[in-house]
Structure 1
Amino acid sequence: MPIDGLFLNKSIREAKKFEGQKIRNIYQPVNDEVLLQLQNGFLLFVLKNPSYLISLDEKPNMPDTPQNFSMFLRKRIKNAKINKIEQLGLDRLGYIDLSVIDETFELKNFKLYFELMGRNSNILLVDEKNKILDALKKGITSNRSIMPGAEYFPFYNTEYINVLEHEKVDFDTIKQLMGFSKISKILFFDYLDKYDYFSFISEFLDNNNVYIFDYNGKKEILSFRPVNYEYETFNSPSKGLLNFFEINSINSRFTELKKKLEKTVIKEIEKYEKLYKKLKKEENELKDIPILEKQGRLLQAYLYQFKEKTDHIIVYDWETEENVQIKLNPLKTPNENLQIIFKKVQKLKSKSEHLKERLKITKEMIDYLYQLWQSIDLAEDIETLQEIKEEMINERLITEKSSKKKMKRKESNPYEFYYNGFKILVGKNNIQNDKITREADRDDIWLHAQGIPGAHVIIKSNKQEVPEDVLLFAASLAAKYSKGRYSSKVSIDYTQKKHVWKPKGAKPGMILYNNFKTLYVEPAK
Structure 2
Amino acid sequence: MGRHSNIVLVEERTDGSRLIIDSAVRVSEEMSRYRAVLPGVPYLPPPPQRKKPVEQCAPEDFLGVDPSAGTSRANQMAIVEKLAGTGPVTAREILHRAIARTGSAEPTSIHRAALDLAAAVDEGREPASVGLDDVGRAVECAPFRLTSRARFAECETMSEAIRWLFADTGESLRQSRLARELERTVREHMDRLRGKLVRLEQEWEDAEAEEELRIKAEVLTAYAHEVPRGASEVELPNYYDDNRPLRIELDPALDAIANAQRLFRMAAKRKRARQWIEAERENTLRDLRYLEDVLQALGDTSLENLEEVRRELEAQGFLARTNRRGTGGKRRATESEPHAFRSSDGFVIRVGRNNVQNDRLTFRKADKRDLWLHVKDAPGSHVVIERGQADEIPERTIEEAATLAAYFSRMRDSANVPVDVTEVRHVWKPNGARPGFALYDHQRTLFVTPERSLVESIMSRTLARRETSDSR
| TM-score normalised by L of structure 2 | 0.76
Matched, 1:123 2:49: no
Match of 1:210 in 2: 129
Match of 1:419 in 2: 343
Deviations 1:426-470 (A, max 9, x none): 111111110110121122111112222211111112234222332
Matched, 1:459 2:365: no
Match of 1:393 in 2: 314
Whole-Å separation in 2 of the counterparts to 1:307 and 1:211:
96
Matched, 1:180 2:86: yes
Task: Return the letter of the residue paired with 2:190.
Answer: I
Task: Return the letter of the residue paired with 2:399.
Answer: L
Q: Which has the higher strand share?
A: 1
Deviation, 1:193, is 3.7
Match of 1:69 in 2: none
Q: CA RMSD in A?
A: 3.3
Whole-Å separation in 2 of the counterparts to 1:220 and 1:435:
35
Change (3 A) 1:232 1:469: farther
Tell me whether 499-508 or 121-130 shows the greater mean CA deviation.
Answer: 121-130
Match of 2:46 in 1: 155
SS in 2 for 1:505: coil
Task: Return the letter of the residue paired with 1:381.
Answer: S
Change (3 A) 1:143 1:456: same
Change (3 A) 1:322 1:487: same
Match of 1:14 in 2: none
Match of 1:481 in 2: 408
Tell me whether 134-143 or 366-375 shows the greater mean CA deviation.
Answer: 134-143
Match of 1:236 in 2: 157
Whole-Å separation in 2 of the counterparts to 1:135 and 1:403:
35
Whole-Å separation in 2 of the counterparts to 1:347 and 1:354:
11
Deviation, 1:306, is 1.2
Q: Which has the higher helix share?
A: 2
Deviation, 1:190, is 4.5
Superposition map of 1:319-338 within 5 A: 319-338=241-260
SS in 1 for 2:446: strand
Q: Is the Cα–Cα contact under 8 Å of residues 349 and 383 in structure 2 kept in the other structure?
A: yes
How many residue pairs get aligned? The number is: 409
Whole-Å separation in 2 of the counterparts to 1:270 and 1:515:
35
Tell me whether 424-433 or 404-413 shows the greater mean CA deviation.
Answer: 404-413
Whole-Å separation in 1 of the counterparts to 2:44 and 2:235:
104
| TM-score normalised by L of structure 1 | 0.69
Whole-Å separation in 1 of the counterparts to 2:332 and 2:130:
32
Q: Is the Cα–Cα contact under 8 Å of residues 378 and 411 in structure 2 kept in the other structure?
A: yes
Whole-Å separation in 1 of the counterparts to 2:314 and 2:332:
16
Change (3 A) 1:450 1:510: same
Match of 1:12 in 2: none
Superposition map of 1:157-306 within 5 A: 157=48, 159-163=50-54, 166=57, 168-169=59-60, 171-173=62-64, 175-186=81-92, 188-196=94-102, 197=110, 198=112, 202=116, 205=120, 206-214=125-133, 220-223=139-142, 224-306=145-227
Change (3 A) 1:240 1:152: closer
Q: Is the Cα–Cα contact under 8 Å of residues 130 and 161 in structure 2 kept in the other structure?
A: yes
SS in 2 for 1:425: strand
Whole-Å separation in 2 of the counterparts to 1:195 and 1:472:
50
SS in 1 for 2:59: coil
Match of 1:440 in 2: 366
Match of 1:342 in 2: 264
Whole-Å separation in 2 of the counterparts to 1:195 and 1:482:
49
Task: Return the letter of the residue paired with 1:427.
Answer: G
Task: Return the letter of the residue paired with 1:452.
Answer: A
Whole-Å separation in 1 of the counterparts to 2:19 and 2:432:
73
Q: Is the Cα–Cα contact under 8 Å of residues 127 and 156 in structure 2 kept in the other structure?
A: yes
Task: Return the letter of the residue paired with 2:353.
Answer: K
Change (3 A) 1:133 1:315: closer
Q: Is the Cα–Cα contact under 8 Å of residues 212 and 233 in structure 1 kept in the other structure?
A: no
Deviation, 1:239, is 1.4
Task: Return the letter of the residue paired with 1:341.
Answer: L
Whole-Å separation in 2 of the counterparts to 1:512 and 1:245:
46
Deviation, 1:246, is 0.9
SS in 2 for 1:304: helix
Deviation, 1:164, is 5.9
Matched, 1:503 2:430: yes
Match of 1:4 in 2: none
Tell me whether 225-234 or 192-201 shows the greater mean CA deviation.
Answer: 192-201
Task: Return the letter of the residue paired with 2:210.
Answer: I
Gaps of 5+ in 2: 65-78, 103-109, 457-472
Change (3 A) 1:187 1:311: farther
Match of 2:105 in 1: none
Gaps of 5+ in 1: 1-48, 51-116
Deviation, 1:244, is 1.1
Task: Return the letter of the residue paired with 1:176.
Answer: K
Whole-Å separation in 1 of the counterparts to 2:218 and 2:35:
99
Whole-Å separation in 2 of the counterparts to 1:184 and 1:484:
44
Deviations 1:371-425 (A, max 9, x none): 22322x2232222222222222222223326789413433321111112211111
Q: How high is the sequence identity, in percent, across the aligned residues? A: 25
Tell me whether 179-188 or 310-319 shows the greater mean CA deviation.
Answer: 179-188
SS in 2 for 1:120: coil
Match of 1:136 in 2: 22
Whole-Å separation in 2 of the counterparts to 1:120 and 1:484:
48
Match of 1:310 in 2: 231
Deviation, 1:202, is 4.4
